[in-house]
Structure 1
């Protein structure tokens, strides 16, 4: 179910047709239609929960996950007190950039999913840029 931005906003404001989870899924699918990852520029997908943050680098042409990194990784978990801060997100971005540079991935497409480019999502992107990735 692919809806235009105007329709999504109308449905959100009316709140009669779509429930919040379904609205979030439609919003994510609308963004996913414009963001595609290739072998030259894979997609950096971000998932944020209340406790942790997860990031994956995905090649959409072959539907393969090339790299993953999260606040649950053992090496990162030892240095963090909690995974719900912007500092943790920035550290994840830097670690992901370090791992991707080892695999010769320098250019990516950033997929923020249904989240606003703000707070922990922005901190992860800034960390990845500081680590050497180009968006």
Structure 2
């Protein structure tokens, strides 16, 4: 008999496998990415204290209405650039990238490359 597992459950399995290997600290917090069909969300998290230090998405007032589409690589790059800008203002230079079970391709890669170009190191 076939084991039917949904796409969401399979991503959860991959997410747990990735999260076993990385941990965000106060010196080097975790940059987490969530991708939905319509938007992309990114946040920098200090796992030791359980706090979100910086967060941004395509729904943020700085980006909403200024992007032709909120679900493409250009929008992801804009989120990455704005996230890096806010992180540098908050004094965060180095992060650990958490792709959350998504393939490092497309919107995830665009966000990561823009964050690197904006001054974050990972």
Matched residue, 1:127:
114
Greater RCO structure (CA 8 Å; 6+ sep): 2
> Whole-Å Cα distance in 1 between the matches of residues 2 and 103 of structure 2?
20
TM-score (norm 1): 0.85
2:50 aligned partner: 63
Q: RMSD across aligned C-alpha pairs, in angstroms? A: 1.4
Q: Which residue of 2 aligns with 1:24?
A: 11
Q: Number of paired residues?
A: 122
In the other structure, the counterpart of 2:85 is 98
Q: What is the Cα deviation at residue 17 of structure 1?
A: 6.1
The structure 1 segments of at least 4 consecutive aligned residues displaced by more than 6 Å after TM superposition are none
- The farther-off stretch of 93-102 and 20-29 is 20-29
CA 78–34 in structure 1, closer or farther in 2 if over 3 Å, else same:
same
Task: Indicate the structure (1 or 2) with the bigger Cα radius of gyration.
Answer: 1
What secondary structure is seen at the aligned counterpart in 2 of 1:61? coil
Gaps of 5+ in 1: 1-13
- Once residues 95 and 20 of structure 1 are traced to their aligned partners in structure 2, the CA distance between those partners, rounded to angstroms, is 30
